[in-house]
Structure 1
Amino acid sequence: MVGMTRGKRSPVTCHLKCADACSHPVPNVSSNETFRDIAAAALSRRAALGVAGAGALTLVAGPSLLAGTAAAAPAPAVPEIPIPAGGLAIPEGGDPILGKATDRNLPFTAIGPVAADQDTFTVPKGYKSQPIIRWGDPILPGAPAFDGTKQTAAAQACQFGYNNDYLDIIPITSTSALLVCNHEYTNENIMFPVAATPAEADEQKRIGMNAHGFSVVELTRTGPGKPWTYKPTGKLNRRFITSTPFAVTGPAAGSDMLKTAADPTGKKVLGTLGNCAGGTTPWGTVLSGEENFNGYFRAAGTTDSEKRYGLTDRATSRNWESLEPRFDARSADYANEPNRYGWIVEIDPFDPTSTPRKHTAMGRLKHEGANVQVAPDGRVVAYMGDDERFDYLYKFVSKNKMRPLTSLANRKHNMTLLTEGDLYVARFIGDSPAAQIDGTGTLPADGVFDGLGVWLPLVLAGTSQIPGMTVPEVLVHTRLAADKAGATKMDRCEDVQSSPKTGKVYVACTNNTDRGKVDKEGPTEVNPRNANRDGHIVELTEGLTGDADPLATTFRWNLLLVCGDPAEPHTYFGGYPKDKVSPISCPDNVAFDSDGNLWISTDGAPSTLNQNDGLFKVPLVGKERGRVQQFLAVPTEAETCGPVIHDRDGSVFVAVQHPGEDGSFAEQHSFWPDFVPAGTVAPKGQFAGPRPSVVQVYRG
């Protein structure tokens, strides 16, 4: 990737995180209808805003997809229960643990951009920051203190993992909580010195394996608003690593496509890989998306499915195939092993004896994550992005309904909701003439990028909606099914979440520098810029009447943000004056505060704005709509992940991933957060180099 990246986008990240995806052909070579094809048969803006809009859509999607949904029943009441359940509706009067909802709990003056070479964690005036836990900190009984010069696989299996991404802090009482996060990938170049022997090289591989997965860690503090500390021997502390057994659920479980020599049942998978964003369910479990799993496998790379998922016959960057045959899918014994990754996984952080699961009903793709919303009739809906250039946005609707959390039996039932249901993929339709979407990012004549859309069914009521594909085939080869359905090619859908205040859905499209290249799709109204380096945020309202019904099969959409330097003409900030916003590029993860403001973390700002990545607040309603304000910046060469906003408590949390990623063990680029000088002996538990960490920001 050297010479192929732009600005300060690291070739190291490209190599280790996504297996140099941008240096290979785009996996999606389908000839889905482009915006220009659709526009010829679709809508004028006037039709889109009236009853005629639905009729015009029928030309594209067919009447069966536009019938709408029946009148919704009132949402079931959720009583208070002793089981913490992150994501449950908070009473209007406030939360008994975190306090009342008020914007005054997180007042701040936006910080300015922090230059990309600054190795600092920057917060607004009046706030402090402090790591809660760092890579290598011991969390299980018998774990040794971290020693960067004497790492072992056995120690890492009992220590906090690397490159923490999705994060949640789930309060239990005002002074106790659970920290849950995943560990997406590893940066071996800055974790280890160059191996002196083959045996040492193999041990480094095993350490890397054990640095992937999940961590669950108990937290404690002295009182509300005070900083958290972690409990190294908490009873609920747990590590999930590459050898942890996962159960497979749903229609594809046990299919021939998931069977291997080591697992002839097709129902038990070892480990989880490439976990990116996620979500905490209303019943208190945690979801995570397996994203760039292809980079861990060597495969023949000859089948349509292998090509579509980016699997190739090249040695992998970590060469785990030299240690474990399951990572070499060229053999008949393990040809299906890659099919066992790319799923939404669910863990129960409150039961350290539970078996984590992979849900095939939600489809297999490069999942960024999944976030659950409860529909008015009690069914649950999960939104999911496929983080690849020109790939798609998905929605899952459960077959069964959520039960009130009044008993453990009801919670157990709720933990089955993601095993059966309907799966959809999105088609977006712009409402402006094609000539006005010219690839520059210039707004069309109506002053906004917007239009309608439809959810195209892949699986309905247990039946495949894709001719020639069975339900298990649709779920294992979901990208191929979505190609056939005619989904809209997007600019890397990353995190997707619905607002707890309005039900509107927000999609972070991080970038796509291939859009508009020769033989690549050009601009569409929902992806309006060629060579899109800065990304954008899509705001989606389910249903054509604006009622935000998550069960609807149609939706309205608009672009809330077209990111980049506000001084550039191709940017847009929800109509807010561009001279009064913070520069923002490459939106990745999103979150909400109790007032319904959107918070956006970024991954890639150094490549376009020459500034460190950060976390930004964006109001969504009223005169402040679109006002981007930077709250924090992470250290040099790091990515901001997993934002958690506890504004009632005056706290914000982020996961800081791959600081100093371009360095080496001998010449580190970052020394955050321990700041042990190069060439000195690190004190016990510290490191003369960078450590991915979970950081809390609080008023003080």
Structure 2
Amino acid sequence: MSPKLLPLISQIGTRHGSRSLRTCEMKCANQCDHADPNPSGNEHIQTVMRSAFSRRGMLKLGAAGVAAAGVTTLAVNAPAAADMLVASNGDKGNGSFPGFPGPRGELSHSVVPPNRKDDIVVPKGYEQAVIIGWGDPVVPGAPKFDVNAQTPEAQAKQFGYNNDYTMIVPLRDDKKSLLVCNQEYTDEYLMFPTGKYDDATTKKIAMAAHGMSVVGIERVGRSGQWRRDKSLPKYNRRITVHTEFEVTGPAAADPRVGTKVSGTFGNCAGGVTPWGTILSGEENFQGYFDVSDTVAAEHVTSLKRYGVPTTKTTQKGWSTVDPRFDLTKTPTEAYKFGWIVEVDPYDPKSTPKKRSMLGRLKHEGATITITADGRIAAYTGDDERGEYIYKFVSTGKYDEDDRKANFGLLDHGTLYVAKFTGDGSGDGLYDGTGQWIPLTSDTESFVAGMSVAEVLINTRIAADKVSPTRMDRPEDIERNPVNGKVYAALTNNSNRGGTFPVDEANPLAKSHTRPSLGAPLVEQSGNRNGYVLELSEEGDDAAKTGFNWNLFLVCGDPAAQETYFGGFDKTKVSPISCPDNVAFDGSGNLWISTDGNVLGSNDGIFTVPVAGPKRGQVKQFLSVPFAAEACGPLISDDDKTAFVAVQHPGETDDATFEKPTSTWPHTHKFPRPAIACVWRKDGGRVGS
């Protein structure tokens, strides 16, 4: 690869987390060091939080404070809903999945301590193994991985790079399933020997390493371990930058988008539908476009609101091998990305869809639940500082007896954006009420001066006009299958208290970090460690537009004054920083993966009960290798396996292919992002 990107990386300014300069540039075009694209001046969640109470009152809450906060043990809520095919790292149909494990013992796994090891570290009594990694064969005819003999054609048949969202859907054989995974972005400095390939070939291979993979896997005996099904079943599939997509919903009629789009990239988190399709969120699409001269004036406002360049610049440089990535030549290409993608893993010949009714933003993902009257609701976060939380509710109802009848549900309904209000009671809690504000249905816009298609194409601009609450990087948002509450990971915002005023829902103007493992805590400006938000909709019904909310976790080191762990004793919890994705086991316990830990240790996966006397007891379940991000997580439907996607191991500023700072999973002398599974040696439920 050409070294021209390296000077740009070295010029990046102030850090906003523990991510390396390299990761910030390659993953998200360093969005946090650019001007915030939201100029609306809408109230920020921090302002909402600050209005509520003094922090000192909150810190007095210990285990006994749980009762005062109105927290009680919650019974399983299991209305008639989806008889779904799969277990999910999201909503399990409020407990109606076949084989749903139901209540179990408390989370009793040993705690993995903070560390900087170049490996997956698991609790005592557990084992872990890699299932599939970058370059492994996926589709028939794929060559064996050879880093010295890569071609774009080979990569398009092999597992992609920097795996993120991971989902398992079953086949008829209960020992075989399909693993579906996003491949979010590439790091050409770690992927290729220096000087081995010319610049054009490197870019083409990288393009083929983006997208999604569908891979057959099989259980090992009766254990919780899974491995690749090397018979390469007919379902195996790669989806790349060049795969044809169909755009559905009202935006497809707009000439800026159209009905056919080539490819997907920047795919971060996702979700699974009750009819067994996979939803994938196109997140940091803004970093893939170059501008050779200028961009037509009519597109500038929209592009800037999404952080897409409008003046002469080179980012990935893909325009040198594919001119559609030059916005001077094709300014409408950027409108074709930033959507929720739907893929049918059971039909490898099907055309994937981009569902425009869920709006265009930097989607972390989209997770599905079923409303009380049988309709579909989808939650999605716009992963950038100061952006919003959204929900879509379908017009039609889910039909559990007719799979194909459900395929159009995401094209008709209403898209909402969330506004949070603090209660101002001074009761020592960050909490309040909120409202889902309608933006548009598929037939009527509720934003003055904007058509239905305009709201969906420029969703950020439409949302600005109705005054929702600006959040601290809203990422994964999922409904708990047991208690019916919705949990949102708000990863961090180093500008909170500065560019973004504090409020009751985003209260921290200062927080603490550690420069290295074991070093003293250092106070820094902003919300560096993030929150986990708990949201209760009226009657636990996702169709309702009113809700109550509270900050379940104010993340960080328990020794730091600002942290809060659901009212649990802070001397008995693990430090946790930068929550990214959430999942639930069969008893409704929350599992959290982290991205960008600023407490000096590796990222990992953490467990925490959301009810009962141990509500808020955060315990680290595993840590991922050095400089890696913990993606997923996913708990199997029988609770016997925890899956983790290890992304960008060893992605540090000084790392090169020849001199890596990680070699995980230790199959080669360089790192390979991969999917791993973790299980108990005795075959029991993970976490217990």
TM range (shorter): 0.7 to 0.9
Aligned counterpart, 1:652: 642
What is the identity, as a one-letter code, of the residue corresponding to 1:626? G
Contact 1:592 1:645 survives alignment (8 Å): yes
* SS of the residue 1:640 aligns to: strand
CA change 1:108–1:395 in 2 (3 A) is same
Deviation at 1:31, TM superposition (A): 1.9
Pairing partner for 1:630 from 620, 627, 634: 620
CA change 1:337–1:283 in 2 (3 A) is same
Whole-Å Cα distance in 2 between the matches of residues 355 and 288 of structure 1?
14
Structure 1 residues 274-326: Cα deviation after superposition (integer angstroms, max 9, x where no partner):
00000011110000100000000124466211110001135343200111111
Matched, 1:532 2:499: no
Structure 1 segments, 4+ long, off by >6 Å, are: 35-40, 42-45
CA change 1:627–1:466 in 2 (3 A) is same
* SS of the residue 1:463 aligns to: coil
What is the identity, as a one-letter code, of the residue corresponding to 1:307? K
Whole-Å Cα distance in 1 between the matches of residues 107 and 576 of structure 2?
20
Contact 1:370 1:383 survives alignment (8 Å): yes
By relative contact order (CA 8 Å, sep 6+), the higher-ranking structure is 2
CA change 1:6–1:391 in 2 (3 A) is closer
1:164-563 alignment, distance < 5 Å: 164-172=163-171, 173-195=173-195, 200-232=198-230, 233-258=232-257, 266-299=258-291, 300=294, 303-312=300-309, 313-331=311-329, 334-404=330-400, 406=401, 410-432=402-424, 445-460=426-441, 462-517=443-498, 520-530=499-509, 531-543=526-538, 547-563=539-555
CA change 1:377–1:10 in 2 (3 A) is same
Whole-Å Cα distance in 2 between the matches of residues 362 and 377 of structure 1?
20
What is the identity, as a one-letter code, of the residue corresponding to 1:112? P
Whole-Å Cα distance in 2 between the matches of residues 670 and 377 of structure 1?
50
Contact 1:16 1:317 survives alignment (8 Å): no
Contact 1:179 1:218 survives alignment (8 Å): yes
Deviation at 1:102, TM superposition (A): 5.0
Aligned counterpart, 2:558: 566
* SS of the residue 1:103 aligns to: coil
TM-score by length of 2: 0.86
Structure 1 residues 642-690: Cα deviation after superposition (integer angstroms, max 9, x where no partner):
11112734211010000001211121110110x2xxxxxxxxxx43200
Whole-Å Cα distance in 1 between the matches of residues 562 and 643 of structure 2?
32
Contact 1:106 1:650 survives alignment (8 Å): no
Deviation at 1:461, TM superposition (A): 6.0
CA change 1:296–1:561 in 2 (3 A) is same
Backbone CA RMSD of aligned residues: 2.3
Structure 1 residues 111-137: Cα deviation after superposition (integer angstroms, max 9, x where no partner):
11113xx21110000000000001000
Pairing partner for 1:31 from 37, 41, 52: 41
Whole-Å Cα distance in 2 between the matches of residues 480 and 359 of structure 1?
19
Matched, 1:139 2:138: yes
Aligned length: 620
Whole-Å Cα distance in 1 between the matches of residues 107 and 243 of structure 2?
39
Among all aligned residue pairs of Structure 1 and Structure 2, give the percentage whose two residues are the same amino acid: 50
CA change 1:650–1:491 in 2 (3 A) is same
The runs of 5 or more residues in structure 1 that have no matched partner are 46-73, 259-265, 434-444, 676-685
* SS of the residue 1:541 aligns to: strand
Contact 1:105 1:650 survives alignment (8 Å): no
Whole-Å Cα distance in 1 between the matches of residues 396 and 662 of structure 2?
49
Deviation at 1:257, TM superposition (A): 2.2
Whole-Å Cα distance in 2 between the matches of residues 201 and 343 of structure 1?
29
CA change 1:6–1:521 in 2 (3 A) is closer
What is the identity, as a one-letter code, of the residue corresponding to 2:496? R
Aligned counterpart, 1:57: none
TM-score by length of 1: 0.85
Aligned counterpart, 2:679: 698
Deviation at 1:76, TM superposition (A): 4.7
Aligned counterpart, 1:600: 592
Whole-Å Cα distance in 1 between the matches of residues 167 and 19 of structure 2?
27
Deviation at 1:149, TM superposition (A): 2.0
Whole-Å Cα distance in 2 between the matches of residues 329 and 664 of structure 1?
31
Deviation at 1:624, TM superposition (A): 0.6
* SS of the residue 2:418 aligns to: strand
Deviation at 1:105, TM superposition (A): 9.7
Contact 1:7 1:610 survives alignment (8 Å): no
